[in-house]
Amino acid sequence: MSYQKPRILNDWKDLLWSLLPLVLICLVIAGVASQCTFTANGPTQGQIPHLDVDKALADDAKLMPFPIRKPALAADWKPNSGKRDTITGAGGGEVSTVGYITPQGSYMQLTQTNATEEALAKQVTGTRYATGAEQIGDRKWVVYAEPGTESAWITDFGDVRVLIKGAGNPNAFKTLATAVGSAQPLPR
């Protein structure tokens, strides 16, 4: 007959001894699945996914009912993601989004849509309101920002609204805004 002590006598040591095997099992499974590495220098950056941004935006230019622009960015801006979406509801429309990793390692998003600024802002920034504006070249960008969140800038080209958003520094926003402002629509 085995002895089992009453539950009231269990303490933090019993909890620790019961969780320790579970943690070890999880570490072994993660190691076998090659999902984590242990180095003396701490975490290292993984490989950045690659997106053929030329092809992605050219395809969007053919499929979307509005002009698509491809900003001319330096080679150290790495395109890494893209998607098409739809904003539903009043003022909604189709959306083309590509993402870049800046030379500093920050993510920046470029979104182009025929939705209204209000619908785009609500979709991407949630409950944030316009907090200011930036003049980049001849283009005025409405800034949506609040402490602790990523900033978003939106400009209106008439037949298309463009949003840039991300964790980049102010220079990253200005670089992307300048490149978009000077880009011509791709051929349909």
Q: Does 44 map to a domain?
A: no
Q: Does 71 map to a domain?
A: yes
Question: Domain range holding 89?
Answer: 53-182
- pTM, full prediction: 0.75
Q: Does 109 map to a domain?
A: yes
With b for 16 or more beta-carbon neighbours within 10 A and e for fewer, the 158-186 pattern comes to eebbbbbbbebeeebbbbbbbbbbebeeb
CATH of residue 144's domain is 3.30.200.100
Q: Does 80 map to a domain?
A: yes
The pLDDT value recorded for residue 118 is: 92
Which residue from 138, 145, 123 is spatially nearest to 178, judged by alpha carbons?
138
> CA-to-CA distance for 137 and 170, rounded, in angstroms?
15
Q: Does 35 map to a domain?
A: no
Using the structure block, give the residue that is written with the tokens 């950056």.
Answer: 45
Q: Does 140 map to a domain?
A: yes
The pLDDT value recorded for residue 39 is: 65
- Domains of the chain: total: 1
Q: Does 3 map to a domain?
A: no
Containing 179, the helix (H) or strand (E) segment is helix 170-182
Low-confidence residues of the chain: pLDDT under 50 = none
Q: Does 137 map to a domain?
A: yes
> CA-to-CA distance for 63 and 176, rounded, in angstroms?
23
pLDDT tens track for 69-120: 999 999 999 999 999 999 998 999 999 999 999 999 999 999 999 999 999 9
